[in-house]
Structure 1
Amino acid sequence: MSSPSALSLGIDIGGTFTDVVVYAHDTGRSLSHKELTTPAAPHEGVITGVRRLFEREGLSYAAVERVVHATTLFTNALIERKGAPTGLITTAGFRDTLEIAREHKYELYDLHIEMPAALVPRHLRLEVPERTGPDGTIITALDEAALVARAGELVAAGVQSVAIIFLHAYANPANEKQARVALATAYPQLFVSISSEVSPQIREYERSVTTVANAYVKPLADGYLDLMTGEIRAIGIKAPLFMMLSNGGLTHVDEAKRVPIQLLESGPAAGALAGAYFGERSSIEDVLAFDMGGTTAKLAIIDGGEPMIAHQFEASRQKRLTEGSGLPISISTIELIEIGAGGGSIAHVDPLGLIKVGPESAASTPGPACYGRGGTQPTVTDANLVLGYLDPATFAGGTIELDVARAKAAIAPLAEQAGISIPEMAWGIHSIVNENMAAAARVHVAERGHTASRFAMLLTGGGGPLHGCEVAQRLGATRVVCPPGAGVASALGLLMAPARVDRMATVAKPISRTDWRELEGLYAQLEAEAFAVIDATLPDHPSAPRVLRSADMRFVGQGFEIVTTLPAGPYTDASAKTFAEAFKAAYRQMFSQVMPLGDVEIVNIRIAATVEATASGLASTAVAAGGASALAGRHQVWVGARKRYEDVPVYSRERLAAGETIQGPALVQEASSTLVLPADSQARVDSSGSLIIDLALAGEAGASESAGASNLNTNALS
């Protein structure tokens, strides 16, 4: 591909691989490369991957007009507790908010329960005289001398970043803003986060956790983003760097550095966007976007063509699937579930003698045994190689040559313990990890009031096409979509992302006492703030931003709210009925019935402003019929339904013509991933180049395989 006039570059750093994608604006074509992630210095893997792709394809760095980046770096810093030394300065009497939390045990009868540890230890949580009332009245002015003295104590203790969290600052941020100015003067080297900017809403504990988490990763984000910007410029790319946000939008680097907590779920959000985008290209609006990489698998619900958005999620859970065991982070994020299952997930025997897979991962260092980089434990990738699903020479575009002998050697001890053959154990590992993912996905979909069978499953990530068809069967889904370049689709999703800004404010008033002109003014103010960020991100955006208004509402006296979508303004006294009807409709959808009496309260108001970042979409990847045959050969592959190796056809994805059909069992290979088609399935290439797979007898196959996996899991060592 000769260098076009304009390029966009997408970079997605995962736990095992860093994906690099280039998109050509004039032709709509894309090119990609997978590079092993370098955990100790993530930018090194990025720059190596970019260089290799551009040199391989003869591209010009000067042609790049936009760089969009997603990373798990900040999430990992929270999980691994590797953020900056952080302090907290709060209102006198409130230093223990982080410890008291909600006084709620996520497992009531666990006598040895471990609650999530606070990011700031008690000796670094200090108090100052100040007080603001819930109505915004300043009851006690900030004691600035005491503030500076307390900050001095924190600096002496080695603190690099400080969170300022004053009581009721969401109602009036004056004291917090005064504190930030005072600290900038006295200690300019300190990073400062104030709650009225990071999380301006009621609920002291959630606001405190979110602000502290922002402070915890802020020095890391500041240094990393400066480093990445410099490294990209050093190789000749002068285009601006944009960051993917957890809400599925993108923003400029300065905004990302100001509130880096917004970046926590940036990588998974890109996968969900890719799911929505490729589903729309195939005219499928209801999609389960399944993205499986080397370390984790993610699943997001795309309902009616739009990803579901949540305004709070839990980070760093003590127990991955247990609600309440993590840190509540109040940011807008694409709602999804993350599962500790990926190509690097390690198979092991638990204390009861049962075979388990994950959540521990070999990641990229040392990696699965078959990588030949020092790993010796059996992983999902080793199992897939033994089963014949991976080509040792072309894996990850030839980035790594896989070693079948090492994979078998790693699996052999488990097979010997279980008294079964190595291929049977490999199939067991493959089946168990599929059931783990299906079980988590099944609960996630049901908890949101949906049935998986009405969705198509869309596969992305290096492991999505390998495992997705069987996971779909276990869920009862009968249709699967595998887009072109599925292995790097998340990075491609970055380039399809709009600029998006979410803003919110606390109102806390019943509808019956709402000043509608004042409420309209608050919405207009939030929109103006959002438009300013969008203009700074995309100064030449081709269209006006699209604005969605919503509110967190509840019946007066209830403890929690429902996010309710609202019609566009302006609002007047006549809007009271509209607001109440919208809330009751949302309430009915969630709880099936509505209380006949009771005033409705508006707690928080929200706006989401978006504008498309690119005017053109991807070109179709399907070739014209009548070209070279897509059949690349045949290969010995384990067919799970028949529990034996069979000689199955292997197709080259790049040569599949629009309208062509493939019968399973078969493999479809491309540079970034391999699609495993099970027996009794049929795949068809649609006009956009995506493979649409129909899974025959999905219910029976899923039940049969689940039973097989369950028997193996329970009886393998009996």
Structure 2
Amino acid sequence: MFKIGIDVGGTFTDFVVVRAGESPRYFKTHSTPHDPSEGVIAGVRDVAAAYDLTPEVLLGSTELLIHGTTVATNTLIERKGAKVGLLTTAGFRDLLEMREGMKEDRYNLRMAQVEPLVPRYLRLGVPERVRWNGEVATALDEAAVVQLLEEFAQEGVEALAVCLLFSYLNPAHEQRLAELIRARFPAMYLSLSHEILPQIKEFDRLSTTVVNSYVGPVFGEYLRHLQERLARLAPLHDILIMQSNGGVAPIDDARRLAVQAILSGPAGGVNGAAYYGQQLGLAKVIGFDMGGTSTDISLIENSVPHLTTEQFEAGWKIAVPMIDMQTLGAGGGSIAQVDAGGILHVGPQSAGADPGPACYGKGGTRPTVTDANLVLGFLDPANFLGGKVPLDAQLAAQALHAHVATPLGLSTVEAAYGVHQVVSTTMAEGIRLLSVKRGVDPREFALLAFGGASGLHVSRVARHLQIQKVLIPTAAPVLSAYGMLNTDLQYAFSRSYTASLEQVDVAAVRALAEELEAQGRARLHAQGLADTAIEVNVTADMRYLDQVYEVTVSVPDLSLEPTALLQAWATNFHARYQELYAYHQQEQEIRLVTLRVTVLGRLPRVALPAQSAGREATFALKGQRRVYLGGWRDVPVYAAEQLAPGTALAGPALLESPFTTVVVEDGDTVSVDRYGGIELHVALETLVKDETRSAGLEQPDPITLAVVEHRLGSIAVEMAEVMLRTSMSQILNSSRDFSTAILDADCQLIAQGEGIPVHISALPPAGEAIRAYFGEEIAEGDLFVLNDPYFGGSHLPDITIISPIFYNDKLMFYAVNRAHHSDVGGATYGGYNPAASEIYHEGLRLPPLKLYDKGVPRQDLLHMLSINVRHPENFLGDLNAQIGSVMIAARRIHALLERYGAERLQRCVSEILVATERQVRQLIASWPDGVYKGETFIDDDGFDSTMVPIRATVTIDGESMAVDLSESSPQVTGFINSSYANTRSLAHAAIMYMAPAEVPKNEGSMRAVSIIAPRGLIVNPNPPAPVCMSTNHCGEEIIEAIFKALAAAVPQVVSAGFSRRLRFAMNGHDPRSGRNFIWHFFHARGGGGASQGYDGWSNVGEVNVAGGIRSPSVELTEERFPFFLEHYEFRPDSGGDGTWRGGLGATFSMIYEGDRPALLNTAGDGVVNPPFGLCGGQPGLPHIYRLYSNGQERVLRSKEVSVPVQPGDRIFCLSAGGGGFGDPQQRPPAQRAWDIKNGYCSAPED
């Protein structure tokens, strides 16, 4: 009998075939993208021939066939899915397209918005509503549903998705909808969110459910077609389909839950890596799968792959459990290019398979990683892909010479070596970032390489990560197919159960776990598995009370006595949190969010055949080849498949097999394991020697510059990741109002992570304030805190933590984290005080202060801070998150200093800044010289209804630019004044918005720009002027004035006006918890301004954050606060008309359900002045705020303080749309018709 694993990839379809009593055999055949089943059938014929059988006999003798495929993935990525109709709760149909306000590149104003999988005209609202606790607020209107289904029938939808608010708690309405749908459309593909993902957070559930309906019909048709073609050859046992969670499922289940096959193919490779490591006694393995266009990395602990529910594919969240794979834009086809500043970049652009790398000889002219590896001698041009694709080394050298070597002033081979180093660093940093997200140390893992290109880079990647052991299995080229034969039937169930751990009903949790387990066992019994082959694993997603991101924790034995169970459960959570983030908060309330039950049906494994030892390495020696490893060397080349167990050899060497090559570098040693796989023992000190040998050079080489730039950026991103997952407050862990950065010893910005544009360039002045005040007293282990805008702060709610980083007793760098705290004391909750006439009214002022003294926390200062805020637990939790963020940066930078040495690293940083300056100067030089003026107005300052002007005079003179704000208003009484640090940061943000995306956001980009902002003006006030609103207003208007000024000269680099800030904060009491709360409004983000070639993004907020702040979950909002949200959708007609339309704002309505009056502050702008249009485009609509109390309507001003809100009052908001760009008459008729069809705008009046 046979077992067959089949993995359909983009280029090849791989087969692993095992006949009883024999060793596995591996086969490859070309994939057939137009119909993947053709490649499968062709492969079956090849396999049958290899065994001297007919296909009919082969399949008739097959007891197990497992199939993995990229069909579901490609359907989603290529946008070739079904025409889907969506039913959701009335008033919330746009949550899918809003995508929580996400904009992946917040600096890029010239990019297309992610197209929704379901267009707006096919998203219909169902009259019904369930509350936060599962109670029905509005009954399902079945008559209305019947009418909605007729609309779908008229539109010819091919699949339906249903996602109602809180259906995970009470699915009755979704269940009744299913009955009505099946009565009208018996054969319709249908996805119900409470079945696909029964857990809290409506966007996660909605996106996942829609993806299932979008790919399901296509994926199901492919499986049906494949099943029929195979059945024509021979009757088969049920085909099992590889799932994204690492298990397999019967073909019928796979059709119904297509979303679980999004990572079907790659998941098999991770399974194979886990199994291979387990056979070698290695429980901790990192999977490193490098292919032609990308690299997939994965983490395996205890021989089990890590899972995630946070995966995004093609812009859409897929929140079912999936193997945690990070895909990097680095593969053999990744293109190498040099930017205008002279820095080398590799990827993410790829040459693809056609035309492919230059060396393919198919017309490609851009150099790729494969071209570089060929020039270095790592590849045999006659043996690539088993000799099926001959390579042309001359074409590779020409491409590298023209596009890399010449711009960098290097020889061709030096350029190739640089490409090799840079792409290896990129992959190493990707692994490091995934590791920190999951709280593991990569040095404790073995690196297992598979995929065709991984062996060429794995040694250098391992060195960067300080990983000593590398594994390359004999099955590496077909590991995905092999892994499919070493997996299990797996069913994963989840159900949200939100409660404080102390108040959990243990009996209810036991019953829920038993119910989910019973479902899994029933499905496995139907597959013929006995209970002895079934295993059950119970976990829970948990978090501290005010956090958003959960931690998955093992659930103790549910048969324990309730008190002991809950104590053990809390202990598990604190221990896991400590393991992930290096601290925990014993005093914080723990919330149970989701219970997960995974039911496994164990399938027999395909044993790895041990190979006989005894042959010497010389038996496998093929000859020698000249390769470049920092210098030319003649190295031996071995046939990897002929190396016998027990063989040992030393690098440098090349190990070749038909589909991969392994580079063994100097100092590395190789042994062959008992299965014939390669074990590479990496010489960790070699990289340090290699990278420091030119330390005496006056100028660092361009390759080192590229590596260092990437490494510093990765550290700043890692800081942000730690902050996101450990902060306590909604404004940080949900809305992401924080920034991370690294400064050099002179307080120059050298790298930034995830951040808010308004923060970033205000961080250097904060560092300068610390340095100016403490000077020589700054010591290793110190931490500093400040928030004062007159000492480099933005506004008082933004607290900055700064860690000086020393090396050999010398101050080298600063790690910086700035985060907006929910409260900093003062006269009003939330920091924004429209009544403030001086900064003392706005909260606690923190000039430069020492928070840690030589590593010891100053408890007196922490006590003083906590006693001055309204919610000290959250405050200290957020402060701890900031501290953890800068501390991890200090460790990473210290390692970088160890690697390169202080002097060399400083020179690299200096040259990186010079390179950025060069890019910006070249950009400015391309703009026409002249003096350009722009003017914009703030509605008012909260004290006087007079509009406040912001005026910018921008002078372009050759490669320099001056931004003169001298004609702006004098400082005002209200809180819209902007400190110089804030003004500087906003001017820098404007420059970065206009620059190409590849220009780094560092101090070098500011050197060509001078900013003139005299004292006493609104853009540089004298203390004690209040400034709290300035991060938005006059911040927004500074950018607007610069854009307006330059629109006449360079319209292609600016945008029309974005929505201004629509904001309020509320202080009230929640009768459910008995706690007071402070709530910041981040729903109803406004529309983005259009730009030349692009419509504005909808629901992304103001330009100075541009998608950096997220819109919170409706369900989480109601679960955490006493609100009932009635309506949250796009605001039609709010975007300004133009050749390119402005993005839409939103309509929002909610009811306050507290048990006592609350107080509301508004702190925004844009009620009087709408977002402006450019180049003939029309302005967007302005904001509207309203409060309905006791039947009376009150129109709120944009700046009011302590507005009373009674229980039952309704708050209603209309957020502004973005401005249009270009003459509306030039908008393409088809695009205008589409806008009207979807209700983005109304049809013109006759």
Secondary structure class of the residue paired with 2:326 = strand
Partner of 2:32 in structure 1? 38
User: Do the aligned residues in 1 keep the contact of 2:463 with 2:682 (CA within 8 Å)?
Assistant: yes
Quote the offset at 1:623 in angstroms: 3.0
Partner of 1:11 in structure 2? 6
User: Do the aligned residues in 1 keep the contact of 2:641 with 2:676 (CA within 8 Å)?
Assistant: no
Distance change >3 Å, CA 159–CA 61, structure 1 → 2 = same
The match for 1:207 among 185, 188, 205 is 205
Alignment of 1:243-282 (within 5 A): 243-282=241-280
- Which segments of 5 or more consecutive residues in structure 2 lack a partner in the other structure? 694-699, 710-910, 919-1246
Alignment of 1:150-549 (within 5 A): 150-236=148-234, 238-316=236-314, 326-350=315-339, 352=341, 354-373=343-362, 375-414=364-403, 417-418=406-407, 419-536=409-526, 538-540=527-529, 543-549=532-538
Secondary structure class of the residue paired with 2:558 = coil
Counterpart CA distance in 2 for 1:637 and 1:585 is 53
Distance change >3 Å, CA 109–CA 8, structure 1 → 2 = same
The match for 2:17 among 9, 19, 22 is 22
CA offsets, 1:85-136, max 9 Å, x none? 2221111111122244434666666666766443222222111212233333
Counterpart CA distance in 1 for 2:497 and 2:469 is 45
Quote the offset at 1:383 in angstroms: 2.8
Secondary structure class of the residue paired with 1:496 = coil
Distance change >3 Å, CA 296–CA 711, structure 1 → 2 = same
Counterpart CA distance in 2 for 1:121 and 1:681 is 55
Which segment is superposed worse, 53-62 or 521-530?
A: 53-62
Counterpart CA distance in 2 for 1:557 and 1:420 is 54
Distance change >3 Å, CA 608–CA 390, structure 1 → 2 = same
Secondary structure class of the residue paired with 1:446 = helix
Quote the offset at 1:168 in angstroms: 1.4
Quote the offset at 1:177 in angstroms: 1.8
Secondary structure class of the residue paired with 1:650 = strand
User: Do the aligned residues in 1 keep the contact of 2:243 with 2:267 (CA within 8 Å)?
Assistant: yes
Counterpart CA distance in 1 for 2:691 and 2:70 is 35
Distance change >3 Å, CA 368–CA 660, structure 1 → 2 = same
Alignment of 1:686-701 (within 5 A): 686-696=673-683, 697-700=685-688
User: Do the aligned residues in 1 keep the contact of 2:336 with 2:344 (CA within 8 Å)?
Assistant: yes
User: Do the aligned residues in 1 keep the contact of 2:290 with 2:331 (CA within 8 Å)?
Assistant: yes
Partner of 1:555 in structure 2? 544
Partner of 2:49 in structure 1? 55
Secondary structure class of the residue paired with 2:431 = helix
Secondary structure class of the residue paired with 2:92 = coil
Quote the offset at 1:359 in angstroms: 1.9
Quote the offset at 1:549 in angstroms: 0.6
User: Do the aligned residues in 2 keep the contact of 1:543 with 1:611 (CA within 8 Å)?
Assistant: no
Letter in 2 for 1:623: S
Mapped pair 1:94 → 2:92: yes
Counterpart CA distance in 1 for 2:105 and 2:616 is 60
User: Do the aligned residues in 2 keep the contact of 1:218 with 1:259 (CA within 8 Å)?
Assistant: yes
Quote the offset at 1:372 in angstroms: 4.7
Quote the offset at 1:525 in angstroms: 0.8
User: Do the aligned residues in 1 keep the contact of 2:405 with 2:414 (CA within 8 Å)?
Assistant: no
Counterpart CA distance in 2 for 1:223 and 1:373 is 34
Which segment is superposed worse, 457-466 or 631-640?
A: 631-640
Quote the offset at 1:432 in angstroms: 2.3
User: Do the aligned residues in 1 keep the contact of 2:425 with 2:461 (CA within 8 Å)?
Assistant: yes
Counterpart CA distance in 1 for 2:427 and 2:545 is 39
Which segment is superposed worse, 622-631 or 43-52?
A: 622-631
Alignment of 1:141-156 (within 5 A): 141-156=139-154
The match for 1:670 among 648, 654, 657 is 657
Counterpart CA distance in 2 for 1:286 and 1:138 is 48
Counterpart CA distance in 2 for 1:170 and 1:290 is 36
Counterpart CA distance in 2 for 1:57 and 1:426 is 44
Letter in 1 for 2:8: I
User: Do the aligned residues in 1 keep the contact of 2:439 with 2:581 (CA within 8 Å)?
Assistant: no
User: Do the aligned residues in 2 keep the contact of 1:33 with 1:397 (CA within 8 Å)?
Assistant: no
Which segment is superposed worse, 272-281 or 139-148?
A: 139-148
Letter in 1 for 2:262: L
Secondary structure class of the residue paired with 2:623 = strand
User: Do the aligned residues in 2 keep the contact of 1:84 with 1:219 (CA within 8 Å)?
Assistant: yes
User: Do the aligned residues in 2 keep the contact of 1:564 with 1:582 (CA within 8 Å)?
Assistant: yes
Name which structure has the greater RCO, CA cutoff 8 Å, separation 6+. Answer: 1
The match for 1:582 among 567, 572, 583 is 572
User: Do the aligned residues in 2 keep the contact of 1:247 with 1:334 (CA within 8 Å)?
Assistant: yes
Partner of 2:1196 in structure 1? none
Quote the offset at 1:660 in angstroms: 0.8
Counterpart CA distance in 1 for 2:12 and 2:499 is 49
The two structures have a TM-score, normalised by structure 1, of 0.90
Counterpart CA distance in 1 for 2:343 and 2:226 is 44
Partner of 2:73 in structure 1? 75
Mapped pair 1:680 → 2:691: no
Q: Once the two structures are aligned, what percentage of the paired residues are identical?
A: 36
Secondary structure class of the residue paired with 1:167 = coil
- Which segments of 5 or more consecutive residues in structure 1 lack a partner in the other structure? 1-5, 317-325
Letter in 1 for 2:688: E
RMSD, matched Cα: 2.9
Counterpart CA distance in 2 for 1:389 and 1:54 is 35
Quote the offset at 1:350 in angstroms: 4.3
Counterpart CA distance in 2 for 1:593 and 1:340 is 33
Distance change >3 Å, CA 474–CA 579, structure 1 → 2 = closer
Which segment is superposed worse, 610-619 or 397-406?
A: 397-406
Distance change >3 Å, CA 564–CA 592, structure 1 → 2 = same
Which segment is superposed worse, 677-686 or 95-104?
A: 95-104
Quote the offset at 1:467 in angstroms: 1.5
User: Do the aligned residues in 2 keep the contact of 1:70 with 1:266 (CA within 8 Å)?
Assistant: yes
Counterpart CA distance in 1 for 2:540 and 2:498 is 11
The two structures have a TM-score, normalised by structure 2, of 0.53
Secondary structure class of the residue paired with 1:630 = helix
Quote the offset at 1:294 in angstroms: 1.7
Quote the offset at 1:367 in angstroms: 3.5
Partner of 2:1138 in structure 1? none
Distance change >3 Å, CA 429–CA 105, structure 1 → 2 = closer
Secondary structure class of the residue paired with 2:371 = helix
Partner of 2:126 in structure 1? 128
Quote the offset at 1:513 in angstroms: 3.2
User: Do the aligned residues in 2 keep the contact of 1:36 with 1:364 (CA within 8 Å)?
Assistant: no
Partner of 2:596 in structure 1? 606
User: Do the aligned residues in 2 keep the contact of 1:486 with 1:672 (CA within 8 Å)?
Assistant: no
CA offsets, 1:565-621, max 9 Å, x none? 11233355232222222222223323433334344332211111223221452212x
Secondary structure class of the residue paired with 1:268 = helix
Secondary structure class of the residue paired with 1:246 = coil
Secondary structure class of the residue paired with 1:70 = strand
Counterpart CA distance in 1 for 2:261 and 2:558 is 30
Letter in 1 for 2:52: G
Partner of 1:319 in structure 2? none
Quote the offset at 1:78 in angstroms: 2.6
CA offsets, 1:340-374, max 9 Å, x none? 11222233444555443222333334443444555
Quote the offset at 1:555 in angstroms: 3.4
Counterpart CA distance in 2 for 1:64 and 1:262 is 25
Counterpart CA distance in 1 for 2:486 and 2:163 is 37
Partner of 1:322 in structure 2? none
Counterpart CA distance in 1 for 2:187 and 2:340 is 50
Counterpart CA distance in 1 for 2:325 and 2:507 is 37
Counterpart CA distance in 1 for 2:266 and 2:606 is 23
Aligned length: 699
Counterpart CA distance in 1 for 2:321 and 2:350 is 28
Letter in 2 for 1:551: A
Counterpart CA distance in 2 for 1:67 and 1:148 is 43
Distance change >3 Å, CA 66–CA 375, structure 1 → 2 = farther
